[in-house]
Amino acid sequence: MRIVITGAAGFLGSHLSDRLLAEGHQVVGLDNFITGSKENIAHLLGNPNFSFFRHDVSTYIYIAGKVDAVLHFASPASPNPQSPLAYFNLPIQTMKAGALGTHNALGLAKANQARFLLASTSEIYGDPLEHPQKESYPGNVDPAGMRAVYDEAKRFAESLTLAYWRYHNVDTRIVRIFNTYGPRMDLEDGRALPNLLKQALLGQPLTVYGDGSQTRSFCFVEDLVDGIVRLLYSDEHMPVNIGNPVEMSILEFAETINRVTANPAGIEYIRDARSARDPQRRRPDITRARELLGWEPRVNLEQGIRLTIPYFKEKLGLE
Ligand code: NAD
Ligand code: UDP
């Protein structure tokens, strides 16, 4: 297939490009580098099956030649207001990538009779009142809340994707991605793994927001990409959760990072406006992914952290 990936210079888009190229597909990457980096795709630039265009997908997308699939991953993705890369600080760009970007990417798929896959998110469940989250749970999102620019754009994107399937017969897929980590995350984007692993490798105390009792479920990037590729090859049109169902408190997560890195500096608790509004629990119910795709994650947290450390050390100039 000739596959267009929006957000190809980002964390997930670059890993997805690697995997699809390894499977013998051609990849056309699009990115405007708002949160991504040329370094993430530098190793692909000499590959004859990879081409790249700097483009903001909130504006019309033109690709010469036949396209067989469009994977829409372009969007800021970090919720941490302390980072300039977070969607809080890029609110209009985030809504445009989710709304106009999805519309343009769907239009490209429709014009080519191509398959389409949307990168949605566990954030569409908001601060969930049902636990663990099944795809049937409609969510608990405040359109005027702190995370609304991201959550509502992704909810709109899901509805638009389903509209293109139902009314235009575009062959669509929707993956709801839960917290994922690994090499090529931007060390400065403020998400939990980059913040805490960077601090641990520098021998600093880990900043745990609130009392650390809020939970998340962390998936290693290789597992996630495998689930996404299986979904792409399937014929499932309704949303599918992909994430690791092993749930833990953020305090446990931080303690695991300190243990794996042998960081003696401990934990520093930070209580601010953000921690008061943090979603309290998050764990995917992956029954549908298991049954429809035969997928489940294989890398546990400790293995995943060890696989991520060399990248972080290189970026930090350590060893
Ligand atoms: P990322 O910031 O590393 O990648 C996003 C990429 O999209 C960046 O390269 C950025 O420059 C690009 N981009 C943003 N707006 C653009 C635009 N208008 N035009 C062109 N390119 C644009 O983040 P990521 O973690 O790789 O996330 C990728 C996708 O997966 C996002 O859609 C995100 O919402 C979704 N997602 C990620 C996670 C996760 O845990 N990593 C969880 C849920 C959903
Ligand atoms: N978190 C933290 N310290 C940090 C960064 C994040 O305690 O330095 C917490 C954050 O409050 C949240 C969890 O880690 O409860 C996951 O945060 P992330 O930004 O990765 O994404 P979220 O799951 O909140 O969208």
* Residue 277 confidence (pLDDT): 78
CA distances from 256 to 264, 277, 302, 319 (A): 12, 24, 7, 22
Pair 192, 248: CB distance under 8 Å? no
Residue 76 and residue 47 in contact, taking contact as beta carbons nearer than 8 Å: no
The predicted pLDDT at position 272 comes to 79
Q: Which helix (H) or strand (E) holds 205?
A: none
pLDDT for 87:
94
Å from CA of 312 to ligand 2 middle: 18
- Per-residue pLDDT for 124 more than 80? yes
First to last CA, the chain: 40
Calculate mean pLDDT across residues 18-40: 98
pTM: 0.98
* Probe residue for ligand 1, chosen from 35, 52, 58, 176 as the CB with the greatest number of ligand atoms within 8 Å: 35
Parallel, antiparallel or unpaired: strands 267-270 and 215-217: unpaired
pLDDT attached to residue 104:
98
Residue 48 CA to residue 106 CA, distance in Å, equals 26
The average confidence (pLDDT) of the chain is 97
Q: What is the mean pLDDT of residues 111-133?
A: 97
Which listed ligand is nearest to 267 at the C-alpha? 2
Fold adopted by 2-180+220-244+284-298: Rossmann fold (3.40.50)
Helix (H, G, I), strand (E, B) or coil at 306: helix
Instruction: Out of 12, 220, 282, give the residue to mutate to test ligand 1, the one with the largest number of ligand atoms within 8 Å of its CB.
Output: 12
Ligand 1 geometric centre to CA of 202 (Å)? 27
| Predicted local distance difference test score (pLDDT) of residue 298 | 98
Sequence spans of domains, the chain: 2-180+220-244+284-298
With 80 as the cut, is the pLDDT of residue 319 above it?
no
**Given ligand 2 and candidates 278, 280, 281, 301, which is best to mutate, with the most ligand atoms within 8 Å of its CB?**
278
Quick one: which atom of ligand 2 is closest to the CA of 179? 23
Q: Can you give the pLDDT at residue 247?
A: 98
Q: Which residues pair with 6 in a beta bridge?
A: 30, 72
273 pLDDT tier (thresholds 50, 70, 90): low
Positions marked catalytic: 150
> Taking CB atoms and a 6 Å cutoff, what residues make up the pocket around ligand 1?
6-7, 9-13, 30-36, 56-58, 73-77, 97, 101, 119, 121, 177, 179-180
Identify the residues whose C-beta falls under 6 Å from ligand 2: 78-80, 179, 191-192, 195-196, 207-209, 214, 216, 250, 275, 278
- With cut-offs at 50, 70 and 90, classify the pLDDT of residue 46: very high
pLDDT at 275: 66
- Distance from residue 36's CA to the centre of ligand 2 (Å): 20
Give the residue whose CA is nearest to atom 44 of ligand 1. Answer: 121
Do 260 and 305 meet the contact criterion of CB atoms below 8 Å apart?
A: yes
pLDDT-derived band at 81 (thresholds 50, 70, 90) equals confident
Q: Where residue 271 falls among pLDDT bands split at 50, 70, 90?
A: confident
Among all ligands shown, which has an atom nearest to the Cα of 217?
2
Ligand 2 center from residue 16 Cα (angstroms):
24
